[in-house]
Amino acid sequence: MSERTAVHAAGAAPGSGAHEGAGPQLRGRMGVIELALTVLAFAAPLASVVAVLPLVIIFAGVGAPLAFVAATVMLLLFAVGYTTMSRYLPNPGAFYAYISAGLTKTLGLAASFLAILGYTMIGLGITLFFGLAASDLVATTFGGPAVPWWLYSLLLIVVVGSLAFFHIELSAKVLSLVMVLEIAVVLVFDVAVAADGGPEGLSVAPFALSNFSGASVGVAVLFAVITFIGFEATAIFREETRDPRRTVPRATYVSVAFIGVFYIVAVWLIIIAYGPSAAPDVAAASAPTMFPDAMDQFVGVWARDVLSVLFLTSSFAAVLSCQNIIARYGYSLGSDRALPSALGRVHPRHGSPYVSSIVLTVVFLLGVLAFSGSDPGVAYAWLAGAGGFPLLLLMFLTSVAVVVFFRRSRADVDDSTIWHTLIAPVLAMVALGTALYLAATNFVLLTGGDRGTAIALQVVIWGVFLVGIGVALYYRSKRPETYARIGRQKIT
């Protein structure tokens, strides 16, 4: 199927190109590894190892590694249809473009609003937590002055906003360096524990299916899935890669496979560090310090201090990656005139969506100031937990969109099998639908345990979705030329 055929199959209108008479375009030369590291930084693997893996152990017990095996398989299934669609629908925009093509432009625009909301909530939550962690580290570990946490958060936003203003490859280089350091420190821990064997010796018991049962394993899988969020953003950088038809799919698979193996090995060796019989109790009693304490014991006190610093760099990388992702959603919507067209402007020298990035920087600054009088730890739980829900919803809708898109266009599909266009997407749809159900029924748990807050956050999420639908319906009725552009449709 050619680009023209694919776009017409998706219902694009002639003349709906996003770049008619366009000026500078996004540009970059990212390869597979650079792109994979750029999106994986959003997952903040080191921060996930410290903060989330113990939670998975609490809910799955000794069988925690199998929760990550299940999450990896689920998201690899999602990646099959997602990357196949990226070849037949070569539009940037990720969720926005794919849901527009498969499930109508109305749902596509609503999806883009949800994507921006989800990534913004997570990014702002991490920014708040960064301020708290930085304030504590400077005052207690380095003996520095005690200053309000939100000043560190504001400093982070200024640094991130400055980097995001420039060419994407500058951010990619910074993110790649931080990711290598994150991975290295966890690998040092892995090797140390594997060499020692822990108090009960190396054991494969955590991989036994008999240890992966009970009513709470579904929640464990849900938390495991959330630690992968970010990999799906490969498609949003399509215009800034070398040979996007190959780079985007490969980077997507590399991201899911690598981070899956990384988490599986890490959670297994955390369990080994305490012994399978004791690890679940340790997680329940002291989840926040479970990994740092083990690092202290098996590697050394110095490693715990290094871990504290790298935890901050991990958070910094996650916020920078988040800024780049959201800015490109804003750019796509500005290019399509679904939001003010100024957001679609590209810097003539740096090839970056600088207006969208500047607007986002201002939003983040205002967000930090709005939360400056609150407990940043509690606010982080609200925002990061709630932000994962709309992104799970969008992955589910994208799986549905893949099936619909290829059923509608099946006569033109000439180099993909039924596995790519139907079987894997349907399996992903079922798996993600289950995860979405678990997220909805455990939303209070995901957002810190306060029912009133959880209800308010759900109102915000579904309210934004309905606003997106309403705006799309308005465009369809009053501004059909704008409606025709939705989904980054372009004719070549």
What pLDDT is attached to residue 11? 44
- Mean of pLDDT values over 67-94: 89
What pLDDT is attached to residue 14? 32
CB 252 within 8 A of CB 231: yes
What pLDDT is attached to residue 489? 62
Position with higher pLDDT, 438 vs 409? 438
Position with higher pLDDT, 252 vs 6? 252
What pLDDT is attached to residue 419? 93
Residue 8 pLDDT greater than 90, yes or no: no
**Interhelix angle 64-88/376-408, nearest 10 degrees:** 50
Question: Residue 101 has which token pair?
Answer: 């093509």
Which of 2-6, 11-15, 322-326, 376-380 comes out lowest in average pLDDT? 11-15
DSSP 277: T
Question: Band of the pLDDT at 412, cuts 50, 70, 90?
Answer: low
165: nearest Cα among 316, 30, 352: 352
Task: Give the contacts of 38 (CB within 8 A, at least 6 positions apart).
Answer: 30, 168, 171, 172, 175, 176, 237, 321, 324
Which of 84-93, 116-125, 305-314 comes out lowest in average pLDDT? 84-93
Position with higher pLDDT, 214 vs 10? 214
Percent of the chain with pLDDT over 90: 63
- Alpha carbon separation from 130 to 122, 319, 392 (Å, rounded): 12, 9, 24
- Mean of pLDDT values over 113-125: 94
What pLDDT is attached to residue 13? 36
What pLDDT is attached to residue 252? 94
Question: Band of the pLDDT at 413, cuts 50, 70, 90?
Answer: low
Position with higher pLDDT, 299 vs 140? 299
Task: Give the contacts of 453 (CB within 8 A, at least 6 positions apart).
Answer: 382, 447
Residue 396 pLDDT greater than 90, yes or no: yes
Question: Band of the pLDDT at 12, cuts 50, 70, 90?
Answer: very low
What pLDDT is attached to residue 348? 84
Question: Band of the pLDDT at 472, cuts 50, 70, 90?
Answer: very high
Q: Which residue has the tokens 């967000």?
A: 367
What pTM was estimated for this model as a whole?
0.88
Phi, psi of 212 (to 5 degrees): -120, 75
Which of 164-178, 246-260, 432-446 comes out lowest in average pLDDT? 164-178
Burial class (CB in 10 A: 0-12, 13-18, 19+), 344: buried
CB 26 within 8 A of CB 255: no
| Mean pLDDT of all residues belonging to the chain | 88
Burial code (b: 16+ CB inside 10 Å, e: under 16) for 262-274 equals: bbbbbbbbbbbbb
Extract the runs of DSSP E, i.e. beta strands, from 360-400.
none
Residue 5 pLDDT greater than 60, yes or no: no
What is d(CA 259, CA 299) in angstroms, rounded to the nearest whole number? 23
What pLDDT is attached to residue 117? 96
**In this predicted model, what pLDDT tens digit does every residue of 204-248 receive, in sequence order?**
999 999 999 887 898 899 899 989 988 888 888 887 888 888 899
Averaging pLDDT over each range in 37-41, 191-195, 484-488, which range is the top one? Answer: 191-195
- Mean of pLDDT values over 110-116: 96
Phi, psi of 490 (to 5 degrees): -150, 145
CATH value of 3-485 in 3.30.70.980, 1.20.1740.10, 1.10.1740.10, 1.10.10.60? 1.20.1740.10
What pLDDT is attached to residue 492? 33
As a whole number of Å, the end-to-end CA separation of the chain is 13
Position with higher pLDDT, 465 vs 439? 465
What pLDDT is attached to residue 17? 39
